[in-house]
Amino acid sequence: QDLSRVNKEISDYNPVTQERLNAADPSDWLLPKGNYQGWMYSGLEQITAENVSQLTPAWVYSTGLDSGHQAPAIVNDGVMFVSTPYNHVLALDAKTGSLYWRYEHDNPPDLGVMHNTSRGVALWGDRVFAAGLDGTLNALDAKTGQRLCQASIGDWEIGAYITSAPLAVEGKILVGPSGGEFGVRGFLEATDAETCEQAWRTYSVPGPDEPGHETWKPEGPRPDAWKYGGGSMWMPGNYDPEAKKLYWGVGNGSPWLGDQRPGDNLYVASSISMDPETGEILGHMQYHFNDSWDWAAMNAPMLLDIEQDGQTVTGLMSPQRNGYLYWLERNPEGGITYLEGKPFVYNDAFVSLDQDTGRPTYDPAHVPTTGNKVEYCPSLWGGKNYPYEAYNPQTGMIYIPANENVCNSWTGFLDEDTEPASGQWWAGMDLAELKVFLRDPQEGVGQLQAWNVNTREVEWTHEFGKTMNWGSVLTTAGGIVFNAGTNDRMLRAFDAESGEVLWEFPLNSAAISPPVSYEVDGKQYIAITAGYGVDAQWTNSVLADADETGEWNGDVPVGGAIWVFALPDA
């Protein structure tokens, strides 16, 4: 059937090669985070801290859909691709905003998934790869949006839907399904970009005879807990093209209660390195063993150089959902070693981190257990959730979209009535009884924090007040940091050095997608898709309802629109 409506076929499309992906030409935005290292950094410098206050909309395009728009605009040589909730893909002229084509994925009519979002597409050759909530990976003709082939990765009926952006590496398209709340055993799958055939699949929970399987002790209420242990890989990873190593994040354990799956539970709540040819797991850093908070570790660490004992080492950095910022070392063989971890928000469950390994010591009062009501901070959504942090090599700072001051409590139970991986909620807690609250009801929540990579200290913090921050961060060679994601629906520009607010603009809806930058015909653009929904909207309304100060805006408009900004013509 015809899933793509073609308005105007794209002529002379510029095919995407490994060389182009490795080089990350700043006029393009070919990867979810701009480069393989995961920096959310643009080398363009036409828009500067001095002139950013003159930014004006160049064009706006309504997606025609509501709910949470989380995809960055992917831009290849003047052509923009945006994926939406319910898996539409729009191809647009990045300069004018006129539509080339719209692909509407044929999700089953009875599709029901917990997060109906999409975090972007992958480009390879003359194809666009879009995952479906139904668990498919779809290869589209970049010129027309026609579907050329399809792979079945997950199965939404067991809870293995896909929200992640796929990542293209050396002719393979890598993506994993969600399912950490549904008793799905997580995995990452590589699909051949040409044939849509499976190249490899690696489970994040090791099976019998695989290293790490011993961290799933057959001693709890379910001796075979590993079979449905969660650890979904629901965010796109990063890649070291020189060492040819993948870096991916692994999500929470399933169910959420660690005492129902005794042991450390590798590779839940870990960053792992993998061989892109075979999918073999080569190294790991588990941030917190036996995850019991849904804190997960789904965001891959950024690849950057850091200073350690007066030496420059190849490193990894990651502000994790558990509220700690980590400095790690990576070696060419894929090994990952811990250097340091520091809290960027209040965490009451970690008493300390082991100096050599980073392994936390827990305060048992704040570790959820079966049969008990337990309170902990940060909340299950974490000190930050899926939004991307950014790294600016010119300032030497990383910029973290943080949420301080949010805590929660819930009661764990052993669910003996539901089959794991049956598509039914299987987290071992009842969402209807979840209580989300502020540690200090007078204080605000959302922040943008700037940390110096080498001194390992905070340089500045912007506090947004009575709102969460669900916005990914973009930083540029023009000395700017862009961030949206707040309930006042502003897109803001900050001075990258000082944190001063230089510009703000109210979008039609709050934007929870990553801002990006690109260039066409010598002009620099900033693009962001607005469209509030999913957990950002849910947490905001919970906190607005609980607010007693009257300062919390619970009335945020919805609706998807792609916004593109530029400086006025001289």
Ligand X SMILES: O=C(O)c1cc(C(=O)O)c2c(n1)C(=O)C(=O)c1cc(C(=O)O)[nH]c1-2
Binding site for pyrroloquinoline quinone: which residues?
Answer: 119, 163
For residue 181, state whether it binds ligand X (rule: CB under 6 A): yes
Q: Which is nearer to ligand X, 23 or 558 (CB)?
A: 558
Catalytic residue list contains 294: yes
Stretch that binds Ca ion, among 40-48, 108-116, 178-186, 313-321 (CB under 5 A): 178-186
User: How far, in Å, CA of 21 to CA of 24, rounded?
Assistant: 6
Site string for ligand X, 364-393 (x = CB under 6 A): -----------------x---xx-------
* Positive or negative torsion for Cα 85, 89, 95, 97: negative
Nearest to 79 by CA among 61, 88, 89, 91: 91
For residue 141, state whether it binds ligand X (rule: CB under 6 A): no
Task: Point out the annotated binding site.
Answer: 119, 163, 181, 252, 294
Could you say which of ligand X, Ca ion, none residue 446 binds, taking C-beta under 5 to 8 angstroms by partner kind? none
Contact 398, 390 (CB under 8 A): yes
**Binders in 117-146 for Ca ion, by CB under 5 A:** none
Stretch that binds ligand X, among 52-60, 173-181, 439-447, 499-507 (CB under 6 A): 173-181
- Closest separation in Å from C-beta 166 to Ca ion: 19
Contact 160, 13 (CB under 8 A): no
- Which one of residues 26, 78, 120, 180 is an interface residue with Ca ion (CB under 5 A)? 180
For residue 531, state whether it binds ligand X (rule: CB under 6 A): no
For residue 447, state whether it binds Ca ion (rule: CB under 5 A): no
Could you say which of ligand X, Ca ion, none residue 117 binds, taking C-beta under 5 to 8 angstroms by partner kind? ligand X
How would you classify the pairing of strands 446-452 and 458-465? antiparallel
- Closest separation in Å from C-beta 270 to ligand X: 14
Strand arrangement of the beta sheet that strand 187-192 belongs to:
167-169, 172-175, 187-192, 198-203
Name beta bridge partners: 139.
129, 149
User: How far, in Å, CA of 409 to CA of 397, rounded?
Assistant: 34
Peptide bond into 332 cis (omega under 30): no
Which residue has the CB atom at the shortest distance from Ca ion?
180
- Which one of residues 132, 166, 183, 251 is an interface residue with ligand X (CB under 6 A)? 251
Six-digit token pair at 423?
Answer: 């598509």
- Which one of residues 42, 84, 87, 232 is an interface residue with ligand X (CB under 6 A)? 232
- Closest separation in Å from C-beta 12 to ligand X: 36
For residue 252, state whether it binds Ca ion (rule: CB under 5 A): yes
CA angle 73, 178, 284 (to 5 degrees): 95
Nearest to 287 by CA among 310, 308, 314, 266: 266
Stretch that binds ligand X, among 176-184, 275-283, 300-308, 490-498 (CB under 6 A): 176-184
Q: Which is nearer to Ca ion, 78 or 231 (CB)?
A: 231
Which residue has the CB atom at the shortest distance from ligand X?
180
Peptide bond into 255 cis (omega under 30): yes
* Positive or negative torsion for Cα 426, 431, 433, 438: positive
Please give the size of the binding site for ligand X, defined by CB under 6 A: 20
Nearest to 503 by CA among 565, 558, 432: 565
Q: Which is nearer to ligand X, 397 or 543 (CB)?
A: 543
- Closest separation in Å from C-beta 132 to ligand X: 13
- Which one of residues 180, 220, 237, 258 is an interface residue with ligand X (CB under 6 A)? 180
Q: Which of 294, 415, 495, 535 is catalytic?
A: 294
- Closest separation in Å from C-beta 352 to Ca ion: 26
State the first-to-last Cα distance of the chain, in angstroms, to the nearest integer: 48
Distances (CA, A) of 116 to 31, 87, 132, 156, 177: 21, 8, 10, 11, 13
Q: Which helix (H) or strand (E) holds 327?
A: strand 324-330
**Binders in 103-132 for ligand X, by CB under 6 A:** 115, 117
| Number of neighbours of residue 65 by Cβ within 10 angstroms | 19
- Closest separation in Å from C-beta 250 to Ca ion: 11
Six-digit token pair at 313?
Answer: 């080492």
* Residue reference for tokens 């067991």: 158
Contacts with Ca ion by CB under 5 A lie at 180, 252
Which residues are marked as active site? 294
Contacts with ligand X by CB under 6 A lie at 68, 115, 117, 163, 178-181, 232, 234, 251-252, 294, 296, 381, 385-386, 534-536
